[in-house]
Structures are given as C-alpha cells and as structure tokens.
C-alpha cells in the first residue's frame, strides 16, 4: 500500500514513512492511493472476535509490507490490553435502536487513547528498526497532552515534552500529565496562554537546526495512523449490530474531522454505513459546509465541549480529496489561505450530503441532553458525547437503521458541566481518584522561546542525541 498527498505534489510513501512524516512535503495530508475493500464474508467473519483481533484484520491492508504481520498484531494486542473494558469499545443501548459506542475506556478516559495507544507503539517499532530516536513536542489546552503522554511514556526511542498553559488547565487534566513519572516524559507549564504555547511550538519547529538536532516530531490529529486506528470501532460496532446484512448510521462529535472521516473510510472499505451525522457545538463550520457548500472560517467560540472548539477542521482536506481530487484541494486550500474560505460546487456538496448530515448543538441543548439521558436511562454522559446524542436524536431518520452515537470522553473528565446538568458531580473512576495522591513533576518556564529551547536540549541530552 502506497500513500499519496492530498495536494498531489509530494512523493508517494509507504505506511512506515507516512507514520513518521506527519504532513506531506507539499503541505497536504497523506491518504492511501486506493481504498482497500472488506468483502461481505470478511466483515461477517469479524463477528465475535476480540477487539484487538478484529482491529489487526481491519488495519492490515493499510500497513501492507511496511510492518511484518505478526509484529503488527502483537502491537495492536498490547495497545488495547490496558483498557478498562474487555470489549475496548463496548456498545450500550440508550433507547430502542439508539446506541452509545463507549470510546473512553483507555488510560486517559478519552477516545484519543484508542488511536494514540497504537501509534505510540508503531512509532517506537519503526524508530527502533531505523536506529533513530525522536523528540515529540506538543502543546495542549487540556486533553490531548495526557493521551500523547500515556501513549509515549516508556517508549525506548521517543522523548516527549508537552507544554501546557500554567494554571489554565483543570487540576485533573494537569495531574493526568504531571503524575506520569516515566524518565522520557517532560511536562512544562508555560507562564502564558494556550496560544502562547502553540506559538512556542511553532517557533521550535521553525528552527531547522533544532529540528535536526532533536529529531522533532509531532503526533497530531492529521497523522494517518490515527485515522486508520479509528476506522476499527466503526466496523466492530456495525458488525455487532448486524452488518454486513444490516446498515448502520453513526453520529460523531466532531472537531478536527478525524473521527468522522474514519467513518467515511470504513464506508469506502465496504461497511454498510447508511449515514454519518457530523455533530458540532457552536463552532459549526462543518454544519454550514454540509448545508450550504460554504466552508468559511470564523472565530472560535469557547463551549462546554472544548475538544471540539475548532474552526479549521484539518482532516476535512482528506474528504475533499476524495470529492474533488488534488487539483481541487490545492485550489480550495489556496482560497482558504487567501480569503478564509471556499465554496463547493453544488454537485460536490450534493455528493457530500448523500452520506453526511450535520447538526450544531449549543451549550443549552448539550446540558439538556445530559440531564435527559440521565433521567431516562440513569446513564451519565460527558458534554462531547451529549452533542453527539443530541444530533443523533434530531437525525433519527429511518428507524430500521440503528443509530450509534459515539461517546468520546468519560463524564468525570468534565465534571463541572456534568454537575450543572444533573445536580451533582459524576463519580470519579479509580484512575482519576488515584491522581490526587500521586506526586507531580513538571517544570515552570517563562513564555520565552530561548528558555524552552535550552530546556529541550537539556532533557534530550540526558536521553541521548536525536538524529532524524
């Protein structure tokens, strides 16, 4: 399997190269040059398999010759062995034929663990084979930092350094990062805002000498392997609900479009997905794009579902490539840079709307949904999951098609909002309760590039020189 850039002007690469490359050299995102097919018999054969076995089968064609099959299957098994639920991504029924797909049973209690736990292992494997190491640097406003740290801690060939804005992430979020004591993990609290952290990150990556010296890398949401790992639970959920004979619909809390794009990939592979409902909060650029064809960037509005407070949905470029090809993507991205938006031709908008529907759910509706679900079923859901459930209910459609709403975070991670909705804070699961007792380790640094620069040299010096 080879991968090509959505902008058509970068060399085609194999899976292991795409894994480490992140963005393509022409600024595009890597996509498989063709979609592998899962035949009906292959889909049917997945029924009843443990999650990790189904996962290895679904992902196998994307990996191709780049990683040996046995080693890949072992990494997949290892990635999901630490999840709190045996099924990894279990389904629970909220109402007749309205299902919740629980994606928050990983080590940081959010769905990003499902992809990152595997990506961390894949990184380490490929780096070991090449005899190199990398320094993964990231900035977080809360959630993604801990998922990256949990995925990369104790990996032999990776040093990880995560910047967070001092005093501006919740105590639980900070402790999820700073109580990890693995020697290759470094947390830095920046005396500034999240935007300052992102600007520092940009500054680090903009320095070619430093990039080379540290082997700087990122594991952000445009990494193809993350999308690949997310296609699996669409397949396992659909199979559990009757695929390949029966079609299924999904409602997906959406920010960067990575998760719902994975649903599109599963459909392209032959899974009978009738519809994909894009559920957004007040940051509704995607809902507007599906309704009108206008993809236009606005200002980010803070909401109760902060992991979806995004205006530019990076992975949308992958869908665009499927709809309009590389020339169309280049034109659209040029317009996005120049004018802050682009317009899809009506035929393309219609092609999009054949599969995708979209709903924007505001904070009031989010809180009302958390309260209603709790009243009706006793289930407590987090605000991101509630956005998905609200959208699923609005777009219920054909009742013979089961609707699956993706639950992307554990309610205890967003206890304040959940408490407002149901009148008391949600119970803390053992993983989170234990954090309060554990010692923290982090460095406080000023909002100053030179300070972060020398900190990195210091910690990477301890681990051995990076060579990209």
Ligand X SMILES: *Cc1c(COP(=O)(O)O)cnc(C)c1O
Question: Phi first, then psi: what are they for 357, rounded to 5°?
Answer: -125, 165
Show contacts with ligand X in window 286-325 (CB under 6 A). Answer: 307-308
Could you say whether residue 409 binds ligand X (CB under 6 A)?
Answer: yes
**Pick from 64, 78, 151: which is nearest to 115 by CA?**
151
CB of 225 to ligand X, least distance (A): 14
Residue 106 or 255: the one with the smaller Cβ distance to ligand X is 255
Give the one residue of 224, 257, 316, 342 binding ligand X; rule: CB under 6 A.
Answer: 257
Distance in Å, CB of 414 to ligand X, minimum: 8
Kindly tell me which of 244 and 255 has the beta carbon lying closer to ligand X: 255
The least CB distance from residue 244 to ligand X, in Å, is 26
Q: What would the two tokens of residue 59 be?
A: 């992902």
Residue with Cβ nearer ligand X (46 or 110): 110
Give the nearest distance from C-beta 313 to ligand X in angstroms: 7
With CB under 6 A as the contact rule, the residue among 58, 94, 110, 222 that binds ligand X is: 110
120 is a site residue for ligand X (CB under 6 A):
no
Q: Of the candidates 16, 102, 113, 259, which one interacts with ligand X according to CB under 6 A?
A: 259
By CB under 6 A, what part of segment 187-246 binds ligand X?
Answer: 221
166 is catalytic: no
Nearer to ligand X, 236 or 256 (CB): 256
The nearer residue to ligand X, 179 or 221, going by C-beta atoms, is 221
Options 59-67, 109-117, 356-364, 432-440: segment touching ligand X (CB under 6 A): 109-117
Binding letters toward ligand X, positions 125-144, x by CB under 6 A: ------------------x-
Region near ligand X per CB under 6 A, out of 108-116, 206-214, 265-273, 341-349 = 108-116
Minimum CB distance to ligand X smaller for 247 or for 308: 308
CB nearer to ligand X: pick between 55 and 456: 55
Is residue 145 close enough to count as binding ligand X by CB under 6 A? no
Residue in 112, 153, 202, 413 annotated catalytic: 112
254 binds ligand X (CB under 6 A): yes
426 — alpha (psi -120 to 50), left (phi > 0) or beta? beta
Look at the chain and count its residues: 468
Binding status of residue 384 toward ligand X by CB under 6 A: yes
179 vs 307 by CB, closer to ligand X: 307
Least separation in angstroms between residue 106's CB and ligand X is: 11
Near ligand X by CB under 6 A, which window of 107-115, 172-180, 189-197, 429-437? Answer: 107-115
Query: Which sign does the torsion angle of CA 391, 394, 397, 400 carry?
Result: positive
Handedness of CA 179, 181, 186, 188 (dihedral sign): positive
Backbone angles phi, psi at 176, to 5 degrees: -60, -30
Of the pair 184, 236, the CB lying nearest ligand X is at 236
How many residues form the binding site for ligand X (CB under 6 A)? Answer: 17
Judged by CB under 6 A, the residue of 253, 270, 293, 402 near ligand X is 253
Q: x-or-dash pattern for ligand X, window 6-45, by CB under 6 A?
A: ----------------------------------------
Report the C-alpha gap between 174 and 414 in whole angstroms.
Answer: 13
The residue range among 23-31, 256-264, 338-346, 417-425 that interacts with ligand X, by the rule CB under 6 A, is 256-264
The residues carrying an active-site annotation are 112
Site residues, ligand X (CB under 6 A): 110-112, 143, 221, 253-259, 307-308, 384, 408-409
């Amino acid at each position: 399997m080879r991968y090509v850039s959505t902008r058509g002007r970068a060399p085609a690469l194999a899976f292991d190269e795409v894994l480490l490359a992140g963005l393509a050299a022409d600024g595009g995102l890597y996509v498989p040059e063709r979609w592998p097919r899962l035949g009906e018999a292959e889909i049917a054969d997945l029924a009843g398999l443990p999650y990790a076995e189904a996962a290895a089968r679904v992902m196998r064609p994307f990996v191709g010759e780049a990683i040996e099959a046995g080693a890949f299957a072992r990494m997949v098994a290892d990635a999901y062995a630490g999840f709190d639920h045996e099924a990894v991504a279990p389904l629970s029924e909220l109402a007749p034929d309205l299902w919740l797909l629980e994606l928050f049973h990983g080590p940081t209690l959010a769905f990003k663990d499902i992809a990152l736990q595997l990506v961390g292992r894949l990184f380490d494997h490929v780096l070991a084979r090449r005899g190199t190491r990398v320094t993964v640097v990231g900035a977080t406003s809360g959630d993604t930092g801990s998922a990256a740290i949990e995925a990369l801690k104790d990996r032999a060939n990776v040093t990880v350094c995560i910047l967070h804005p001092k005093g501006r992430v919740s105590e639980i979020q900070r402790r999820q990062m700073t109580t990890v004591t693995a020697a290759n993990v470094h947390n830095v609290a920046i005396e500034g805002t999240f935007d300052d952290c992102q600007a520092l990150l940009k500054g680090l990556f903009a320095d070619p000498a430093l990039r080379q010296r540290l082997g700087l890398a990122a594991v952000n949401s445009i990494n193809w392997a993350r999308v690949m790992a997310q296609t699996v639970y669409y397949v396992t959920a659909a199979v559990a609900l009757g695929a390949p004979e029966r079609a299924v619909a999904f409602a997906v809390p959406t920010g960067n479009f990575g998760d719902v794009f994975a649903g599109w990939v599963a459909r392209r592979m032959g899974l009978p997905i009738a519809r994909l409902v894009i559920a957004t909060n007040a940051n509704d650029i995607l809902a507007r794009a599906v309704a009108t064809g206008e993809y236009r960037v606005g200002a980010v509005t803070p909401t109760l579902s902060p992991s979806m407070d995004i205006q530019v949905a990076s992975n949308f470029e992958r869908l665009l490539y499927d709809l309009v090809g590389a020339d169309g993507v280049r034109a659209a991205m040029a317009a996005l840079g120049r004018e802050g938006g682009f317009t899809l031709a009506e035929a393309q908008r219609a092609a999009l709307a054949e599969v995708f529907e979209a709903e924007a759910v505001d904070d009031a509706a989010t809180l009302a949904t958390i309260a209603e679900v709790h009243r009706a079923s006793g289930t407590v859901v987090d605000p991101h999951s509630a956005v998905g459930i609200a959208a699923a209910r609005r777009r219920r459609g054909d009742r013979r098609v089961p609707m699956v709403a993706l639950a992307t975070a554990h309610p205890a991670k967003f206890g304040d909002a959940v408490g407002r909705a149901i009148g008391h804070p949600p119970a803390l699961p053992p993983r989170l309760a234990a954090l309060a007792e554990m010692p923290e380790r982090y460095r406080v640094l000023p909002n100053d590039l030179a300070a972060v620069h020398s900190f990195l040299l210091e910690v990477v010096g301890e681990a051995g020189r990076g060579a990209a």
